[in-house]
Amino acid sequence: MADKSNNTEKKNKRILKNSLKDRVFRATTMGACVIALVALIIGAWMYGTSLADQYIVESLGLAKSAEAIVSKGVDVKSLVSEVMNIYNSLDESQREQTGSDAYRKRFAKIMESENYLRTISILHELVTSSDVRDLYLGMYLKEGNRLIYFCDSDDSEGKWFYPGEWEKVEEREVNMFLNWDGKTELSDISDTKGYGWMCTSGSPVYDEDGNVLCFVLSDIMFSDFLKGMNSFLVRYLVAIVIATFIVAYLLIEHMQKNLVHPINQIATAAQEYIDDKRKGDVRKKHFSLLNIDTNDEIENLNEIMAGMENSLSDYERNLTRITKENERISTELELARKIQEDMLPNTFPAFPDRKEFDLYASMDPAKKVGGDFYNYFLIDDDHLCLMIADVSGKGVPAALFMMASMIILANNAGQGLDPCEVMEKTNDLICRKNEEQMFVTAWLGILEISTGRLVASNAGHEFPIIRDPKGNYELMQDKHGFVLGGMEGLKYSQYEIQMKKGARLFLYTDGLPEASDSVNNMFKTDRIVEVLNKDPEADPQSQIENMRTAVEEFVGEAEQFDDLTMMAFVYKGSGKEKGLKKKTK
């Protein structure tokens, strides 16, 4: 009794620690925080996009305004000509000295000219009245992908360019400016080495013949854009936090009243019912006396519990009869399982007198009976048929459909048809009497034993895994047709694999890659290939046993969810086979 009391006390403490009240509080708070975070991200994105567009528009507008003023107030053609004449007179080794004192001296007189001084004055006046970082005159040169400067308003130390100085830019930027069609906005965003992310906007300056002399260029730094967002984000974050707190509080109060308290009432009534049941008092009512008026699923739950309480006595009287019925059903299911096992070929070695190949297969149903099946048989002395399939659903209906599908596939394959024709005839026969709309995924291959030529067709089944002799197992993503039983009149494709001595084939149903552990992690095809490649020379039976062991270790104590069917095949060769190749028809 002491142990029982201690267990009850521990259970009550655990319930209090993980109470519905606390869970509602955590879930509601977390939900409100998630909504707040999403609102913050969306708001920041919308504001950031708008602000970035505003910066770019201002940059482009300033470039156009500067171009209009400079074109009228300055002899741009003379300034450009003076700089380019000196630049063109230099050889490439001299041009590479850009930024040095010796290089700048060549252009020093230009900086003293009235034309240059007036230009720099205009640019300074415009840039100081805007959020633009730099405003300058420059020209892109395709030779070397360069931007040569004529006049630069940025007087920051280490960032100011003398007339004639140049820097290397991306070929994309050069082509965009030099090949501008005059219709789109002339802006380029790039990640530069010296300045980080930057938007360069421009407006061309033309001579009297309509030729581009240079561009008035303006730069917007995205670091400035980020600074502009700080104030907005702080205010927006404060508003979001306050709104989140209010919404969370209101939701918690609502959930307490309409969810937690009614559920606790039902839980108390259930405990009292159990206690009275142990005492033998079956006359007292519990759930029907509760005053729960929520007009939702909780009220419906209480009504169901009240009905359960009233009908439990009848259930107990029927329990013995139901138990006997279940025993009968279990016996019949066991018989059905035995019949299903007997239908599948399960004698190994399968063909002890045939030395050209070896194979092994197994089927482990998730329930008493399953919907997976495999089959292999000799069509004639030189042709071996291999098939594996998975019927939709589980249990007895899937088992019945499985046996019918297996017989139809085998009969059609035994007629000497190509795999694609086997699939087509099977599909049509299944579709004609398939009122339950069940379907089958299947892979079927016919091996010409003497040459190693394997012709196969896939009707929505898992990809086969193949291995070239002395190579590794690899997943072969063959072309899928539609499932059998899905639609009448379908056409199926087939492909050829030319196997040589030692080539191997591994087939399986989706129960293998989808085998899951206790936290719903799946086995997956990558792990299948990995297990096969740990011992690639193992015989077929050992391969399947190794795979089953790997699945059991991976799944642990989790319940088997789906049928698990595998087939391993090795072609030992006849001396007439060629190389391992794939050919699709």
Q: Following DSSP, what letter does each residue of 345-366 receive, concatenated?
A: ---SSS-TT--SEEEEEEEE-S
User: Helices 20-73 and 222-255: crossing angle, nearest 10°?
Assistant: 160
pLDDT of residue 228: 58
Question: Pick the residue with more confidence: 574 or 52?
Answer: 574
pLDDT of residue 224: 59
What is the C-alpha to C-alpha distance for residues 53 and 187, in angstroms, rounded to an integer?
11
On whether both 365 and 323 belong to a single domain, the answer is no
On whether both 437 and 416 belong to a single domain, the answer is yes
Query: Beta partners for 383?
Result: 380, 448
Residue 355 has pLDDT above 70, yes or no: yes
In a domain, 258, yes or no: no
Handedness of CA 172, 173, 179, 184 (dihedral sign): positive
Q: Which of 39-48, 295-304, 309-318 has the lowest mean pLDDT?
A: 309-318
On whether both 204 and 77 belong to a single domain, the answer is yes
pLDDT of residue 286: 73
Residue with tokens 């297990």: 531
Residue with tokens 């025993």: 327
Structure tokens at 546: 């190794």
On whether both 208 and 297 belong to a single domain, the answer is no
Q: Which of 44-48, 279-283, 538-542, 551-555 has the lowest mean pLDDT?
A: 279-283
On whether both 317 and 454 belong to a single domain, the answer is no
In a domain, 564, yes or no: yes
Q: How confident is the model at residue 343 (pLDDT cuts 50, 70, 90)?
A: confident
What is the C-alpha to C-alpha distance for residues 172 and 319, in angstroms, rounded to an integer?
81
Q: Which of 435-444, 502-511, 527-536, 555-564 has the lowest mean pLDDT?
A: 555-564
**Average pLDDT in the 22-49 region?**
73
Mean pLDDT computed over every residue of the chain: 83
β-pairing verdict for 465-467 and 357-364 = unpaired
Structure tokens at 284: 């007292």
On whether both 289 and 212 belong to a single domain, the answer is no
Distance of CA 78 to the CA centre of its chain: 60
Domain limit, last residue, from 199, 227, 255? 227
Output the furthest CA–CA distance in the chain (Å, rounded): 114
On whether both 379 and 467 belong to a single domain, the answer is yes
How many CB atoms lie under 10 A from the CB of residue 344? 18
Domain limit, last residue, from 298, 324, 343? 343
Q: How confident is the model at residue 4 (pLDDT cuts 50, 70, 90)?
A: low
**Average pLDDT in the 16-42 region?**
70
What is the C-alpha to C-alpha distance for residues 515 and 522, in angstroms, rounded to an integer?
5
**Average pLDDT in the 199-214 region?**
89
Question: Which residues does 447 contact at the CB level (< 8 Å), separation at least 6?
Answer: 357, 383, 384, 385, 386, 453, 454, 499, 571
β-pairing verdict for 581-584 and 564-571 = unpaired
Residue 331 has pLDDT above 70, yes or no: no
Contact 389, 572 (CB under 8 A): no
Question: Which residues does 241 contact at the CB level (< 8 Å), separation at least 6?
Answer: 36
In a domain, 544, yes or no: yes
Q: DSSP letters along 449-496, please?
A: TTTTEEEEEEEBPPPPEEE-TTS-EEE--PPPBPPBTSSTT-----EE
**Average pLDDT in the 368-373 region?**
78
Contact 405, 430 (CB under 8 A): yes
Q: How confident is the model at residue 461 (pLDDT cuts 50, 70, 90)?
A: very high
pLDDT of residue 473: 96
In a domain, 261, yes or no: no
pLDDT of residue 291: 74
496: CATH: 3.60.40.10
Residue 318 has pLDDT above 70, yes or no: no
How many CB atoms lie under 10 A from the CB of residue 510? 16
On whether both 296 and 354 belong to a single domain, the answer is no
Task: Tell me, letter by letter, the H, E, C secondary structure of 79-131.
Answer: HHHHHHHHHHHCCHHHHCCCCCHHHHHCCHHHHHCHHHHHHHHHHHHHHCCCC
For residue 518, give the 3-state DSSP assignment: coil
How many CB atoms lie under 10 A from the CB of residue 244? 20
Query: Beta partners for 457?
Result: 444
Residue with tokens 């009794």: 1
pLDDT of residue 20: 61
In a domain, 242, yes or no: no
Q: How confident is the model at residue 67 (pLDDT cuts 50, 70, 90)?
A: confident
Structure tokens at 303: 């009504």
pLDDT of residue 474: 95
Q: Which domain, by its residues, includes 300?
A: 285-343
On whether both 337 and 214 belong to a single domain, the answer is no
On whether both 366 and 425 belong to a single domain, the answer is yes
**Average pLDDT in the 151-161 region?**
76
Q: How confident is the model at residue 451 (pLDDT cuts 50, 70, 90)?
A: very high
What is the C-alpha to C-alpha distance for residues 350 and 443, in angstroms, rounded to an integer?
20
Structure tokens at 498: 């030319």
In a domain, 66, yes or no: yes
| Closest C-alpha among 213, 209, 563 to residue 393 | 563
Contact 122, 75 (CB under 8 A): no
What is the C-alpha to C-alpha distance for residues 369 and 425, in angstroms, rounded to an integer?
27
Question: Pick the residue with more confidence: 174 or 303?
Answer: 174
Task: Indicate the number of domains in the chain.
Answer: 3
On whether both 213 and 358 belong to a single domain, the answer is no
Q: How far apart are the first and last CA of the chain?
A: 75
Residue 111 has pLDDT above 80, yes or no: yes
Contact 199, 187 (CB under 8 A): yes
In a domain, 191, yes or no: yes
Give the best-scoring range by mean pLDDT among 150-159, 285-294, 534-543.
Answer: 534-543
Question: Pick the residue with more confidence: 370 or 79?
Answer: 79
pLDDT of residue 9: 62
Residue 524 has pLDDT above 70, yes or no: yes
pLDDT of residue 96: 92
Residue 412 has pLDDT above 60, yes or no: yes
In a domain, 276, yes or no: no
Q: Which of 100-104, 196-200, 294-298, 491-495 has the lowest mean pLDDT?
A: 294-298
DSSP 8-state secondary structure symbol assigned to residue 212: E
Q: Which of 191-205, 335-349, 356-370, 389-403 has the lowest mean pLDDT?
A: 335-349
186: CATH: 3.30.450.20
Contact 386, 354 (CB under 8 A): no
pLDDT of residue 433: 79
**Average pLDDT in the 24-42 region?**
74
Q: How confident is the model at residue 521 (pLDDT cuts 50, 70, 90)?
A: very high
| Closest C-alpha among 405, 347, 338, 326 to residue 365 | 338
**Average pLDDT in the 145-166 region?**
84
Side by side, the strands of the sheet bearing 212-221 are: 166-168, 146-152, 134-141, 212-221, 196-206, 187-192
Give pLDDT tens digits for 208-265. 888 999 999 988 877 655 665 666 677 777 777 787 778 777 777 777 777 777 777 7
**Average pLDDT in the 404-422 region?**
93
On whether both 326 and 420 belong to a single domain, the answer is no
Q: How confident is the model at residue 513 (pLDDT cuts 50, 70, 90)?
A: very high
pLDDT of residue 439: 93
pLDDT of residue 366: 78
